[in-house]
């Protein structure tokens, strides 16, 4: 369970690492990540007591051990050196303690499946083995009776990779990843539990240790690895600080046609503070309770896409089954629904899958504008409607995108928000919103696109709603300095 121990090897037990607070976020104590520091930067670091401790080839970052992290980062930034630098942020599994359930009570306990209308989706498909969902988490108990036949393997028979211990055995020594995997793909075997997409396969990528903790290095490395294995979907039921190195990994996967789904977080605060869910290219999922309300712990706000069952969710754990609460449990419902969508229509892009998921949600309580609520997003996941929409029926879905995205205030002139080419003759109406739901701009377009010139706006994440005669859609725009 060693997780890049470095100089801590002699003072901490295997698998542990000390943490500290950096600007309100948890980071590995005294550890700094840099991208290609020049000679002057290296000398500056060494003169201030920093020691180079390693190099991560996959992420192309060097690691340094520093005495006072805050002062070192400030020193480098004030020096004007052109170098990417950030602390090694800590990520944690996004769940709350649960309880073990007797096997006899299991079938009735899976209320979440009925809530998202899995039984109707299964009339169309239970999932294809061609669809692979990567569970980037604490690993998976690949011997579990409900999961052993659903595991992906590479050409050498390996189930995935362990970025905590640096080996090819991603077995789950904590339980969280196995629980997530079961929600997605536990097989129908007459006993135990069943996943939302019991016909697809899951890939084990271990990035969190036996305490449910990981770092920028393990999480970003796991995302890139999963994308390189040509998986269809990456499930990220974890959260922590976010910065450039993590977002690079997310965009790397997105560019390779992978849909990324993440837990919005369990702090009952703005979801824009929890990464990777808050990144533009990630679907952010909140948790709902059995009565249809937002779970009291679930993060909210404009970076939230929609909600799924996340309270009292029964699933697999190493050696058995357990009920857990958390947005960690909600995210794999969405990953499972996305897997069903790709099972019936594998030609769909991640963008297509995302808008199908959004457009097919049950609109349970809208308040900001039609179809959106700050606490429930675009609504409650509906797997049946999503599958029907993927087949080309039931739900009107249109495609749109914004570019450049991210938008640079210092270099770009305007954001173009446009419908897909086949809808270019349509007139459209667009509104731009802040994270808090404040409208900052609105525009009309007669040829299928609108032009937004961000003026007097702060850097950050914004959302657009686009409506036309053929339907409506929504999306995110990241404004940078």
Whether the predicted pLDDT of 426 surpasses 70? no
Domain parsing of the chain, residue ranges: 6-89, 93-390, 400-480
- Please answer whether residues 193 and 179 qualify as being in contact, where contact means their C-beta atoms are separated by less than 8 angstroms: no
CATH placement of domain 93-390: 3.40.50.200
**Structure confidence at residue 423 (pLDDT):** 67
Residue 287: closest CA among 380, 373, 365, 371: 380
Work out the percent of the chain whose per-residue pLDDT is above 90. Answer: 51
The answer to whether residues 97 and 311 touch, using CB atoms and an 8 Å cutoff, is no
Could you tell me which CATH class the domain 6-89 is placed in? Answer: alpha beta
Catalytic, 21? Answer no
DSSP string, 21-67: EETTEEEEEEEEEEES--HHHHHHHHHTT-EEEEEETTTTEEEEE-S
What pTM did the predictor assign?
0.79
Instruction: Output b/e per residue, 176-214; b: 16+ Cβ within 10 A.
Output: bbbbbbbbbbbbeeeebbbbbbbbbbbbbbbbbbbbbbb
> Looking at residues 185-197, what average pLDDT do you find?
91
Which residue in 137, 146, 172, 373 is the catalytic one? 137
Query: Is residue 176 flagged as an active site residue?
Result: yes
Nearest to 474 by CA among 332, 284, 236, 261: 284
Could you give the CA distance from residue 194 to residue 336 in angstroms, rounded to a whole number? 11
Q: Could you tell me if residue 256 is left (phi over 0), alpha (psi between -120 and 50 degrees) or otherwise beta?
A: alpha
Sheet holding 313-317, edge to edge: 96-100, 320-325, 313-317
Q: What is the pLDDT of residue 436?
A: 58
161 touches 205 (CB < 8 A): yes
141 is catalytic: no
Reported as a single tens digit per residue, the pLDDT across 396-419 is 456 677 888 888 898 888 998 887
Q: Given this model, what pLDDT does residue 199 score?
A: 96
Instruction: Please report how the helices 327-344 and 176-185 are oriented relative to each other, as an axis angle in degrees rounded to 10.
Output: 40
Sheet holding 400-403, edge to edge: 400-403, 415-419, 449-452
Mean pLDDT, the chain, integer: 86
Among 423, 407, 418, 413, which residue's Cα sits nearest to residue 480?
Answer: 407
CATH T-level assignment (fold) for domain 400-480: Immunoglobulin-like (2.60.40)
Higher pLDDT, 27 or 393: 27
What is the mean pLDDT of the segment spanning 22-51?
87
- Which distant-in-sequence residues (6+ apart) come within 8 Å of 24 by Cβ? none
CA–CA distance, 58 with 219 (Å, rounded to integer):
12
Q: Give SS3 for 93.
A: strand
For the segment 301-330, what is each residue's pLDDT rounded down to a tens digit?
Answer: 878 899 999 999 999 999 899 999 999 999
Burial of 381-407, coded b for 16+ CB within 10 Å and e otherwise, reads bbbbbbbbbbeeeebebbbbebeebbb
* pLDDT reading at 386 higher than 70: yes
Dist CA 414 CA 435 (whole Å): 20
Q: How many CB atoms lie within 10 A of CB 21?
A: 11
- What pLDDT score was predicted for residue 20? 92
The per-residue pLDDT for range 227-256, each reduced to its tens digit, is: 999 899 999 999 998 888 999 999 999 999
Pick the catalytic residue from 94, 328, 359, 467: 328
Instruction: Say yes or no: do domains 6-89 and 400-480 share a fold.
Output: no
């Amino acid at each position: 369970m060693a997780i890049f121990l470095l100089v801590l090897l002699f003072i901490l037990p295997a698998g542990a690492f000390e943490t500290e607070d950096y600007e309100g976020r948890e980071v590995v104590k005294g550890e700094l990540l840099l991208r290609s520091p020049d000679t002057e930067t290296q000398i500056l670091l060494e003169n201030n007591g920093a020691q180079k401790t390693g190099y991560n080839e996959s992420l192309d970052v060097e690691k340094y051990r520093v005495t006072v992290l805050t002062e070192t980062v400030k020193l480098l930034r004030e020096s004007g050196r052109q170098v990417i630098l950030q602390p090694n942020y800590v990520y944690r599994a996004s769940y709350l303690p649960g309880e073990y359930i007797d096997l006899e009570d299991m079938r009735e306990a899976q209320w979440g499946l009925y809530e998202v209308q899995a039984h109707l989706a299964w009339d169309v498909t239970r999932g294809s083995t061609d669809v692979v969902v990567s569970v980037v988490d604490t690993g998976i108990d690949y011997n579990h009776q409900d999961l052993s036949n659903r595991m992906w393997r590479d050409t050498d028979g390996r189930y995935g990779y362990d970025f905590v211990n640096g080996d090819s055995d991603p077995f789950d020594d904590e339980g969280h990843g196995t629980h997530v995997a079961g929600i997605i793909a536990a097989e129908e075997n007459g006993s135990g539990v069943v996943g939302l997409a019991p016909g697809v396969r899951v890939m084990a990528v271990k990035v969190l240790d036996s305490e449910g903790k990981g770092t920028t290095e393990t999480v970003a490395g796991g995302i890139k690895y999963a994308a390189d294995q040509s998986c269809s979907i990456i499930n990220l039921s974890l959260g922590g600080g976010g910065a450039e190195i993590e977002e690079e990994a997310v965009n790397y996967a997105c560019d390779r046609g992978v849909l990324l789904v993440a837990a919005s977080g369990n702090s009952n605060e703005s979801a824009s503070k929890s990464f990777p869910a808050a990144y533009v290219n990630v679907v952010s999922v909140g948790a709902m309770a059995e009565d249809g309300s937002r779970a009291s712990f679930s993060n909210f706000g404009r970076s939230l896409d929609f909600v799924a069952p996340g309270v009292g969710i029964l699933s697999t754990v190493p050696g058995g089954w357990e009920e857990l609460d958390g947005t960690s449990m909600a995210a794999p419902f969405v990953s499972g629904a996305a897997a069903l969508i790709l099972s019936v229509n594998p030609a769909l892009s991640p963008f297509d899958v995302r808008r199908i998921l959004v457009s097919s949600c049950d609109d349970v309580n809208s308040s900001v504008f039609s179809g959106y609520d700050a606490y429930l997003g675009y609504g409650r996941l509906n797997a049946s409607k999503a599958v029907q929409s993927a087949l080309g029926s039931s739900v009107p879905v249109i495609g749109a995108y914004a570019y450049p995205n991210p938008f640079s205030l210092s270099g770009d002139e305007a954001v173009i928000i446009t419908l897909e080419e086949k809808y270019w003759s349509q007139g459209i109406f667009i509104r731009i919103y802040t994270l808090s739901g404040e409208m900052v701009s609105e525009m009309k377009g007669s040829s299928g696109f609108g032009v937004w010139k961000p003026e007097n706006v702060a850097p950050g994440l914004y959302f657009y709603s686009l409506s036309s005669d053929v339907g409506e859609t929504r999306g995110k725009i990241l404004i940078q300095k």
